[in-house]
């Protein structure tokens, strides 16, 4: 706990895209290396390191694939707060489904919500 509540803003920081990439990559088991990410995108390890250091950002068209590799939702990768969600968290799994699977799961969720509303 901070000794002075007025100093709390001094310790708060926003996670940047680079910090989110690094946090998501490092939490996976087995570990995903910068080299493995670089190989997936046919870029250098230095390029991935640059993303993580916020010296550069990956092209927007790489974000969805990067999110799948890191097993996080694209929305968290782009604008998330806090720790990355667990790879088996629903939001992480949903982002990795193909469109047909996602539509089926969304339809099932809607059905469950409607049933709950009808019971209440």
Residue 46, H or E segment: helix 45-52
Residues 6+ apart with CB under 8 A from 116: none
Is residue 114 scored above 70 in pLDDT?
A: yes
Q: Which two tokens stand for residue 23?
A: 């946090």
pLDDT, residue 11, reads 43
* Domain locations in the chain as residue ranges: 13-119
pLDDT, residue 5, reads 52
Assign domain 13-119 one CATH number from 1.10.260.40, 3.40.50.300, 1.20.120.420, 3.40.50.410. 1.10.260.40
The confidence band for 8, taking pLDDT boundaries of 50, 70 and 90, is very low
Is residue 103 scored above 80 in pLDDT?
A: yes
Question: What angle, rounded to 10 degrees, do the helices at 17-27 and 63-70 form?
Answer: 30
As a whole-number percent, the residues of the chain with pLDDT over 70 amount to: 89
């Amino acid at each position: 706990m901070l000794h002075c509540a007025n100093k709390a803003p001094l310790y708060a920081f926003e996670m940047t895209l680079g910090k989110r990439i690094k946090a998501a990559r490092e939490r996976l088991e087995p570990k995903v290396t910068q080299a493995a990410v670089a190989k997936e995108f046919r870029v250098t390890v230095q390029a991935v390191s640059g993303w993580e250091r916020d010296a550069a950002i990956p092209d927007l068209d790489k974000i969805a694939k990067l999110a799948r590799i890191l097993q996080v939702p694209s929305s968290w990768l782009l604008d998330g707060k806090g720790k990355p969600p667990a790879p088996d968290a629903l939001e992480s799994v949903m982002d990795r489904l193909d469109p047909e699977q996602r539509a089926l799961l969304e339809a099932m969720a809607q059905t469950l919500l409607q049933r709950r509303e009808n019971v209440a």
